């Protein structure tokens, strides 16, 4: 999947701030930071944390789809499995929340390495089907394994004390912990995208045979970005388990994989900020339509169809075209 | 009575029969996917929803119009096929010039809409579909009891699979189809209406899904979610078999159904994942799939 903008060429003519980041990106990050600092006092903190977790999940997914050009239809596997492991670590092993999240993340990374090394053997839609099938296998495993609690999931996960010191039971305190994870995550993704590694990824996305002929070991790059994406999706899932004190089958089911595709598509694949916007829109929609039952599913389907047919650049992609700068 | 590895033969053959039934559905559904993929180059994610439409079609005919199962077998697949033709003409057609992944995303969205509507109006508890009198009862084969309904599913899907193979490999229409798969521009230059061929092919693939749905109605409960999980397994079947060959799809479908049945006898916990494990092995050994051409 390709985007029409050419980030490299445009970045060359864009003014660059002291941090080595184009000025308008720096401004957006700063505005986002200020807004998110104020958000828990304006909005319901749990809701904003949900948005943050899904935004990080979508950004991790976008790293793979938007920059690696690989459509994984099974990212729920890493999100959900990390969420299970983190919940189990916090509840049964009694680990502190940051260690629980690290445990979940590590498992997601290993899972990403295992599935990724198999999935990159196929291209295009086969890649999508393979990742989807493996994610379904993880779902069946979660359904049967003892530690996941089957249909009940892992409930009443303690939020615990951060570093054994700071009590996270208050949602306001927890919020700033989640905010820190979120920002660390998206800044890392931003750094990956704009690193030499990220440029090679874009080259592979645009023209794989050419990248091979230039001497790049394409499969290693693909596997690396797959593992990075799975790992960061794991961070999001593990954090979500601590926030909601719950890990359930929903997080590992294929509908979750579809949702993260939808968030990225709607916000704009291959844009830095698109997945954040997409996640915010979809989570808000789910919250407001929650009482209407299956209309949420129908609404998501309609957004999918409209976005694919009319709106392939996504919200942020369209904005980027207007201001003629990559976002 | 003889026993095989400590398993009574009734259990073994019973599970093998169940496996063959699952395999019938895998074969018909993966065949439809392969036919559609060959010409349209999209993976039809709506396939599971269209299978569900087939089952609901039969249920609606019976409950709203009093039309029985045997009529439904012939009436419902064309109707489901026509809904597919409408989708292709109105929506899917617009994406042919784009990356194939957009086709996957579009059909995924369509599946969400269709399944969502049926869940909203029919609930998720499942509606019973009484089997017709001819399919109740069964025969005792000596080593096992063979219910008529199951024998019918296997025979019917074998007939449909072989008929599809015959049409595609042995008739003039099938020759056009295979030619258009190889090189649509050239076939169009010979004066064959390729867009129409594409539309009809999509309709045919969807009708196959609808047919599978009608077959499933008396066996499984008619449920809006019945296609969703099944279609993911069928995707794995397609990855294992590769979509290059019609007979390959059929063989892979039935074969994997049997393997699943055997797993249910010897290691029940693994029966849900055995197909995915086989997929992993195939990806390691022969990434293009057993019958596939390398992609």
Report the residue from A118, A129, A136 with minimal CB separation from B238: A129
Token pair, residue A126, equals: 């086969």
Which residue numbers in chain B have pLDDT < 50?
1, 295
A83 and A247 Cβ atoms separated by less than 8 Å: yes
Q: Which three-class secondary structure state does DSSP give residue B42?
A: coil
Chain B residues 31-50 with a CB less than 8 Å from chain A: 42-43
What interhelical angle do B246-266 and B274-285 show, nearest 10?
130
pLDDT by residue (tens digit) across A36-49?
988 888 888 899 99
Record the pTM.
Answer: 0.89
Hey, of B105, B107, B236, which one would you mutate to test binding to chain A, going by the most A CBs within 10 A of its CB?
Answer: B105
CA distance B196 to B201: 8
pLDDT per residue as tens, chain A (327 positions):
444 444 444 444 455 655 578 888 898 999 999 999 888 888 888 999 999 999 999 999 999 999 998 999 999 999 999 999 999 999 889 888 999 999 999 999 999 999 999 999 888 888 888 899 899 999 989 988 888 887 888 888 888 778 877 777 888 888 999 999 999 999 999 999 999 999 999 999 999 999 999 999 999 999 999 999 999 999 999 999 999 999 999 999 998 999 999 999 999 998 999 999 999 999 998 888 878 878 888 988 999 899 999 888 899 998 888 888 888
Would an 8 Å CB–CB cutoff place A311 in contact with chain B?
A: no
Read off the DSSP letter of residue B115: H
CA B63, chain centre distance (Å): 25
Rounded to 5°, the CA angle A63-A66-A70 comes to 85
Query: What is the Cα–Cα distance from B265 to A163, expressed in whole angstroms?
Result: 49
Q: What's the whole-number average pLDDT of chain A?
A: 88
Give how far B295 is from chain A: nearest CA, Å: 7
Residue A100: its H or E element? helix A97-119
Residues of A in contact with B109 (CB under 8 A): 300-305, 307-308
Query: What is the reported pLDDT for A4?
Result: 46
- Residues B210 and B32 sit within 8 Å (Cβ to Cβ): no
Write down the pLDDT at residue A223: 95
Q: Please report, for chain B, the start and end positions of each structural domain, with discontinuous segments joined by +.
A: 29-223
Could you tell me if B45 and B29 are in contact, meaning their C-beta atoms sit under 8 angstroms apart?
Answer: no
Cα distance between residue B118 and residue B60, in whole Å: 12
Tokens of A278: 């997409």
Q: pLDDT, tens digit, for every residue of A201-251?
A: 999 999 999 999 999 999 999 999 999 999 999 999 999 999 999 999 999
Which value does ipTM take for this structure? 0.86
**Inter-chain contact B101–A124, Cβ cutoff 8 Å?**
yes
Strands B138-140 and B145-147: antiparallel
Nearest to B108 by CA among B38, B198, B25, B43: B43
Backbone angles phi, psi at B4, to 5 degrees: -120, 115
Residues 6+ apart with CB under 8 A from A19: A26
Computed from CA positions of residues B142, B143, B145, B147, in that sequence, does the dihedral angle turn out positive or negative? negative
CB A60 within 8 A of CB A239: no
């Amino acid at each position: 999947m390709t985007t029409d903008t050419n980030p490299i060429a445009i970045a060359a003519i864009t003014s660059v701030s002291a941090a080595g980041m184009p000025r308008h990106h720096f401004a957006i990050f700063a505005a986002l930071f200020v807004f998110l600092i104020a958000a828990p006092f304006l909005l319901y903190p749990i809701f904003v944390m949900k948005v943050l977790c899904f935004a990080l999940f979508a950004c991790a997914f976008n790293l793979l789809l938007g920059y690696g050009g690989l459509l994984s239809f099974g990212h729920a596997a890493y999100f959900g499995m990390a969420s299970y492991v983190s919940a189990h670590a916090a509840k049964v092993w009694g680990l502190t929340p940051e260690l629980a999240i690290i445990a979940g993340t590590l498992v997601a990374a290993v899972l990403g390495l295992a599935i990724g090394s198999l999935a990159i053997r196929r291209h295009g839609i086969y890649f999508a089907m393979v990742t989807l099938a493996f994610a379904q296998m993880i779902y069946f495993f979660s359904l049967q394994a003892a530690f996941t609690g089957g249909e009940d999931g892992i409930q009443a996960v303690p939020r615990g004390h951060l570093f054994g010191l700071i009590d996270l039971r208050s949602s306001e305190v927890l919020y700033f912990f989640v905010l820190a994870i979120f920002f660390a995550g998206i800044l890392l993704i931003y750094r990956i995208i704009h690193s030499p590694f990220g440029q090679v990824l874009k080259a592979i996305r645009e023209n794989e045979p050419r990248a091979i002929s230039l001497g790049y070991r394409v499969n290693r790059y693909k596997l690396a970005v797959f593992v990075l994406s799975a790992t960061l999706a794991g961070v999001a899932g593990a954090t979500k388990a601590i926030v909601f004190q719950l890990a359930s089958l929903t997080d590992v089911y294929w509908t979750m994989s579809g949702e993260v595709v939808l968030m990225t598509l709607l916000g704009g694949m291959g844009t830095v900020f698109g997945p954040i916007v997409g996640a915010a829109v979809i989570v808000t929609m789910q919250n407001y339509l929650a009482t209407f039952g299956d209309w949420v599913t129908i609404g998501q389907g309609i957004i999918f169809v409209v976005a694919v047919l009319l709106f392939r650049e996504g919200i942020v992609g369209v904005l980027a075209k207007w201001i003629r700068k990559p976002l | 009575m003889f026993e095989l590895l400590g398993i009574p033969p009734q259990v073994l053959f019973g599970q093998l029969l169940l496996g063959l039934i699952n395999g019938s559905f895998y074969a018909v559904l993966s065949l439809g996917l392969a036919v559609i993929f060959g010409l349209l180059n999209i993976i039809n994610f709506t396939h599971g929803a269209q299978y569900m439409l087939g089952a609901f079609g039969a249920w609606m005919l019976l409950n709203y119009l009093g039309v029985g199962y045997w009529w439904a077998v012939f009436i419902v697949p064309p109707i489901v096929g026509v809904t597919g033709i409408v989708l292709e003409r109105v929506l899917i057609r617009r994406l042919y010039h784009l990356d194939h992944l957009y086709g996957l995303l579009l059909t995924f969205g369509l599946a969400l809409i269709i399944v969502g509507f049926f869940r909203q109006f029919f609930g998720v508890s499942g509606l019973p579909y009484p089997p017709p009198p001819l399919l109740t009862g069964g025969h005792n084969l000596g080593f096992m009891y063979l219910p008529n309904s199951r024998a019918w599913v296997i025979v019917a899907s074998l007939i449909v699979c072989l008929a599809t193979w015959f049409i595609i490999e042995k008739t003039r229409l099938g020759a056009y189809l295979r030619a258009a798969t190889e090189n649509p521009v050239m076939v169009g230059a010979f004066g064959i209406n390729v867009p129409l061929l594409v539309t009809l092919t999509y309709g045919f693939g969807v009708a196959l899904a609808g047919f599978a749905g009608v077959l499933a109605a008396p066996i499984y409960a008619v449920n809006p979610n019945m296609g969703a999980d099944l279609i993911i397994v069928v995707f794995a079947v397609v990855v294992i078999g590769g979509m290059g060959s019609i007979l390959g799809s059929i063989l892979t479908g039935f074969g994997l159904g049997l393997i699943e049945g055997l797993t249910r006898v010897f290691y029940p916990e693994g029966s849900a994942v055995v197909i995915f494990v086989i997929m992993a092995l195939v990806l390691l050994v022969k990434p293009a799939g057993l019958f596939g051409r390398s992609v």
